[in-house]
Amino acid sequence: MRQALFLLLLLFVLSAHAQSADDWKYSIEPYLLGASINGDATLGRAAGVPVDISTEQILENLETAFMLNFEARFDNGWGFILDYGLMDLGADTTVGFGGVVSASVRQAITEVIATRRLDVAAGRLELLGGVRWWDNRVRGSFDPSVGNGSLSAEINEDWVDPFVGLRWTRGLSDRWQIRLRGDVGGFGVGSDFSWNANAALFFRMSERMFLDLGYRALYVDYANDKPSDEGAFAYDTTTHGPILGFAVRW
């Protein structure tokens, strides 16, 4: 159902002002996010399971990673962005405090965004409005150092957050370009609240090829409000880290 909604929104944006192919500008960018995930999760009866996973631990335990950004802009100022990122950690991360707490995460995030360019004197300013689909699987366990009482849970949870934001882009020279983006969302529709911030420098390698050097932080506070014995899930985390991408524009 949600996949169909994303496709419908994408087709709407594509067709809203479609004229000839010459009126569109495109960009496609595979990228890597050197992510850390910090926060905690509630999994059934296991409340407050720490999710503190460093970039080094992610690289050691990563089974699958795929990140891609696609963008199209129409000459009249409208455009759209489609961004997908998947990170699957195949082993648990363990910390100890009076026992052992383990957590592992598969996190997939899809963004579909409509953009509207505004005329400003310095650079290009764009209004952003879209949806962010979170598709998560979190496993957690607690093994006390003495006695019994081990807890473990695995929960698959997905939700959709609407969001609004701004993006500003400006050329610094013939070779360098800066881009800043920020948005806020959730508003109780999916998560209670989320925010996203991104800063990037683009280096022009050739007429169509750009190197993307940036940093991103994405926060979410989500809870499904189910009783603990019916699959309670809460996810209060920040995913952040440096970005390295390779963009082709035409």
- Strand segments, DSSP code E, in 44-98 are 46-50, 62-74, 78-89, 93-96
Q: What are the φ/ψ torsions at residue 222 (nearest 5 degrees)?
A: -130, 145
Q: Are 216 and 196 in contact (CB under 8 A)?
A: yes
- Mean of pLDDT over the chain: 82
Q: Are 63 and 50 in contact (CB under 8 A)?
A: no
Topology of 2-249 in CATH?
Lipocalin (2.40.128)
Q: What's the CA gap between 169 and 124, in Å, rounded?
A: 5
- Of 133-137, 153-157, 219-223, 243-247, least confident by mean pLDDT is 153-157
Convert the pLDDT of each residue in 180-225 to its tens digit.
Answer: 999 999 999 999 999 999 999 999 999 999 999 999 999 999 999 8
Q: How many CB atoms lie within 10 A of CB 205?
A: 12
Q: Which residues pair with 104 in a beta bridge?
A: 139
Prediction pTM value: 0.82
Q: What's the CA gap between 146 and 143, in Å, rounded?
A: 9
Q: Are 168 and 125 in contact (CB under 8 A)?
A: yes
Of the candidates 230, 243, 238, the residue with the CA atom closest to the CA atom of residue 45: 230
| Whole-number pLDDT of residue 4 | 46
Q: Token pair 């370009």 is at which residue?
A: 177
Q: DSSP state, 249?
A: E
Q: Which residues pair with 220 in a beta bridge?
A: 194, 237
Q: Are 143 and 127 in contact (CB under 8 A)?
A: no
Sketch the domain layout of the chain as residue ranges: 2-249
Of the candidates 217, 211, 205, the residue with the CA atom closest to the CA atom of residue 244: 211
